[in-house]
């Protein structure tokens, strides 16, 4: 099984959660609510198959074979 993460194909196991994908990508432990366990800000937004997924759902959204996941860093500008 595989999915696409920011345009790059990656393998995934059965039942992998979006929270697990984000934790692996960022190298940070995340709570079930999608917040960093260290209390710091994460500064990203995530979409699966072009639909933005709220942090509160990261632990329950499962990544399926062929899914397209996009992770975007928040940038302050003016």
Contact call for residues 28 and 38 (beta carbons, < 8 A):
yes
Mean pLDDT, residues 51-71: 96
Q: Three-state DSSP class for 74?
A: coil
Mean pLDDT, residues 53-74: 95
Does the predicted model carry a pTM greater than 0.95? no
Cα–Cα distance for residue pair 71/47, rounded to 1 Å: 7
Cα–Cα distance for residue pair 64/12, rounded to 1 Å: 8
pLDDT in tens, 6-18: 999 999 877 799 9
Lowest mean pLDDT: which of 25-29, 38-42, 74-78?
74-78
Give how far Cα 17 sits from Cα of 6, 59, 75, 78, Å: 16, 6, 25, 35
Which pLDDT score, from 0 to 100, does residue 12 have? Answer: 82
User: Which CATH number is 2-73's, of 3.10.20.30, 3.40.50.300, 3.60.15.10, 3.40.605.10?
Assistant: 3.10.20.30
Chain mean pLDDT for the chain = 93
């Amino acid at each position: 099984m595989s999915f696409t993460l920011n345009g790059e194909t990656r393998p995934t196991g059965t039942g992998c959660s979006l929270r697990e994908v984000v934790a692996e990508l960022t190298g940070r432990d995340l709570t079930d609510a999608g917040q960093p366990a260290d209390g710091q800000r994460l500064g990203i937004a995530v979409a699966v198959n072009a639909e933005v997924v709220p942090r509160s759902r990261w632990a329950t959204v499962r990544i399926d074979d062929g899914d397209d996941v996009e992770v975007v860093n928040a940038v302050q500008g003016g």
